[in-house]
Amino acid sequence: MTYQMPAPAQPFKIGTRGSPLALWQAHEVRRCLMAAFGLPEAAFEIVVIKVMGDQIQDKALKEIGGKGLFTREIEEALLAGAIDIAVHSMKDMPTLQPEGLILDCYLPREDVRDGFVSTQVASLMALPVGAVVGSSSLRRRAQVLHRRPDLKLVEFRGNVQTRMRKLDAGVAAATFLAMAGLNRLGLAHMARAAIEVTEMLPAVAQGAIGVERRVGNARAEAMLAEIHHGPTGQRLAAERAFLQALDGSCETPIAGLAVLEGDQLWLRGEILRMDGSKVIAGELRGAVADGAKMGRDLAAALLGRAGPGFF
């Protein structure tokens, strides 16, 4: 720690969504800040903000506005000064922040893999022909259909608990949940198996927690600098540049993962047709410092191979 941060006169306000996983993430940011600066819990206030993406559960994200549905209201509160920082699941974050906001603090990344969840079978390939699989992720839907075009995909939104209730009710035979979220909630046992990234490349930034602040808020900048995890930031710089160059949103099936190998970075990415009929994948290796450029270069290479109208 570079210096001692005095307790603020008013609680330092941490904005978050209200799901169990979002609250865990906000509490983890608070814990890190308490440890870094020797501050008591009373020095912080966790502020739950309702977002449109959590309120509308019966429609696909692409029909109601995409990724911004999980961040818009929180970012508005941040810009208005109602909160000091905002905690996000990075795979939900658009690649560009509103003017006046900056995202440059990440906690150590968790398991990036998808978990296969089912009350009936142990793996995707063990599902019977024509079985129903629930997922709201276009990436997961396309990846599943690429491997099992016989399966029926249905919309499946909600937090971990909601999705498990849907499985128990027989809405679907299986679904997928990020292992990072299951691990953080102590629910890893709910997954029949963690799917290796060689089988199912994850969403860009899956497993990473980001903390957003206002530009010019010196106190927030100083505090967040103390808990930022540099290696996670290096990986996400490449992945999010890849996504941005592809104009990635909830309307396009895209997967990407960067891995650090000493001073080198290994970036893998893929784009998929919505129905899983075609997958274009590629990878690059290069210096960690060139991560963002690698992301843009890989995106250009995949788009060049895809040709116009691929999506």
Residues labelled catalytic: 92
What residues are paired with 210 via a beta bridge?
88, 106
CB atoms within 10 A of CB 291: 25
Please work out, in degrees rounded to the nearest 5, the angle formed at the alpha carbon of residue 180 by the alpha carbons of 244 and 163: 95
186's CB contacts (< 8 A; 6+ apart) are none
Strands (E), 124-253: 132-134, 152-154, 174-178, 193-195, 209-214
Asked if 228 and 108 touch (Cβ cutoff 8 Å), the reply is no
CB atoms within 10 A of CB 176: 27
Q: φ and ψ at 70, to 5 degrees?
A: -100, 0
Long-range contacts from 306-310, C-beta under 8 angstroms, 24+ separation: 306/271, 306/280, 310/271, 310/273, 310/278, 310/280
Distance CA 117, CA 164 (A): 9
